[in-house]
Amino acid sequence: MFRRFAPLLAVLLVLTGCATRPAEENSAAPPESEGTFPITVAAPGAPAVTLEAQPRRIVSLSPSATETLFALGAGPQVVAVDTASTYPPEAPHSQLSGLSPDPEAIAAYRPDLVVVYADTGGLTDALAKIGAKTLVMPDAKTLDDAYAQFVALGRATGHQAEGESLARQARDDIDKIVADTPKPARPLSYYWELDQTYYSVTSATFVGQVLTRFGLTNIADGTDPHASGGYPQLSAERILRANPDLIFLADSKCCGQNGQTVAARPGWNTLTAVQHNHVIALDDDIASRWSPRIVELVRTVADAVTHAGA
């Protein structure tokens, strides 16, 4: 999908390059570099970071950020990604942990920019000592947050135009998909499964908001969608009682769940979603990240809604 935009990007870059004042030309700089540094960047809900120069050695400890970085074309600048960053396959894998980052292990890669999704335990200070900036890209709460992160990462890596274009394209694609999906005759309900012990998401979460755009109601909402931080644990009884029209499985890769395993659960074969085969096994990663692949998720949901509403 992104390769389609490469010629467009190139044109945009050339135009932008002509428009700005001549920046410090680095003879070793790749052609995509822009002279917009130093620059101050902040993701929504995260502290601002000032980058003096275009980062050349980026370490990404956030799987969503990794995907976005490579989508922006900043791949060559990335020297290491954490163990959870499984996409794209060509990303430089390492043993770094995103959940409990070790400044010493990170320092071995001599980064100048480290992207994380949370700063716990004074990571920013520790990394500053080795000369690296820390950019926090927290969990996106809304689609707008996600788009803003694309833009922020673009600016931070010297791919400002790509960032804005990614954001704009994602927004346009999603809007179009939603608009093109035929509205079902009556509002459909859904159950989103995070794992086999019936942990779910409410409509107050990022994923929940995406699905709300299709007019779907979430059976996990109950009286307060913000209860349990948006991630309540349901019981089989409640799910059966609610009889959701759609069942989304976000645990197909981690826990091997699919239509057959769900139908084999005690009592679940009485659900209409199981009987009419409206159980959708999603790719766990796509379902839990806020990278440009969110468009694929939206597409999958749209197909499911169309199929179920018919």
Partner 1 sequence: MPDTRTRLRAPVLAGGLLVLVAVLLCAVLAGASDLGWQRVLAEIWAQVTGGQSPLSAREAAIVWQLRVPRVLLASIVGAALAVSGATFQGVFRNPLADPYLLGAAAGAGLAATLVVVLAPAVTGWVVGPLPPAAFAGALGGVGLSWLVGRSAGGSTSTLLLAGVAVASFLTAIQTFAQQLDTQTIRQVYTWMLGGLNVTGWRQVAIAVPYVAVAAVVLCLSARLLDVLALGDAEAASLGLRPGRIRLVVLAAASLATAAAVSVSGLIGFVGIVVPHVVRMLAGSSYRVVIPLSLIGGAAFLVLADQLARTIMPGELPLGVVTAFTGAPFFAWILRSSRRRLS
Provide the mask over 58-97, with x wherever binding to partner 1 is found by CB under 8 A and - wherever it is not.
Answer: --------------------------x------------x
Measured from the CB of residue 81, what is the shortest distance to partner 1 in angstroms? 15
DSSP tag of 23: -
List strand residue ranges (DSSP E) for the chain, in order.
39-41, 49-51, 58-60, 78-81, 113-116, 133-136, 189-193, 217-218, 246-249, 279-281
Q: Does 240 bind partner 1 (CB under 8 A)?
A: yes
In the complex with partner 1, the residue whose CB is nearer, 84 or 105, is: 84
Check if the beta carbon of residue 243 is closer than 8 Å to that of residue 272: yes
Residue 145 CA to residue 46 CA, distance in Å, equals 11
Q: Does 234 bind partner 1 (CB under 8 A)?
A: yes
φ and ψ at residue 165, rounded to 5 degrees: -70, -45
In the complex with partner 1, the residue whose CB is nearer, 111 or 225, is: 225
Binding residues for partner 1, how many (CB under 8 A)?
37
Q: Does 233 bind partner 1 (CB under 8 A)?
A: yes
CA distances from 231 to 22, 208, 221 (A): 50, 10, 10
Measured from the CB of residue 228, what is the shortest distance to partner 1 in angstroms? 5
Measured from the CB of residue 218, what is the shortest distance to partner 1 in angstroms? 12
Strands 78-81 and 58-60 turn out to be parallel
Contacts of 128 (CB under 8 A, 6+ apart): 134
Q: Does 253 bind partner 1 (CB under 8 A)?
A: yes
Measured from the CB of residue 9, what is the shortest distance to partner 1 in angstroms? 34
List strand residue ranges (DSSP E) for 137-284, in order.
189-193, 217-218, 246-249, 279-281
Measured from the CB of residue 87, what is the shortest distance to partner 1 in angstroms? 15
**Residue at 288: amino acid letter:** S
Sign of CA dihedral 248, 251, 252, 255: negative
Measured from the CB of residue 102, what is the shortest distance to partner 1 in angstroms? 11
Give me 307's structure tokens: 């199929």
In the complex with partner 1, the residue whose CB is nearer, 26 or 243, is: 243
Residue 158 CA to residue 33 CA, distance in Å, equals 6
In the complex with partner 1, the residue whose CB is nearer, 148 or 194, is: 194
CA distances from 18 to 9, 29, 33, 165, 295 (A): 14, 16, 13, 18, 32
Provide the mask over 142-171, with x wherever binding to partner 1 is found by CB under 8 A and - wherever it is not.
Answer: ------------------------------
Among 222, 259, 283, 299, binds partner 1 (CB under 8 A): 222
Stretch that binds partner 1, among 161-169, 206-214, 238-246, 289-297 (CB under 8 A): 238-246
Chain centroid to Cα 116, Å, comes to 13
Q: Does 121 bind partner 1 (CB under 8 A)?
A: no
Provide the mask over 173-212, with x wherever binding to partner 1 is found by CB under 8 A and - wherever it is not.
Answer: ----------------------xxxxx-------------
Q: Does 271 bind partner 1 (CB under 8 A)?
A: yes
Binding residues (CB under 8 A) for partner 1: these are 84, 97, 99-100, 195-199, 222-224, 227-228, 232-238, 240-243, 253-257, 261, 265-267, 269-271
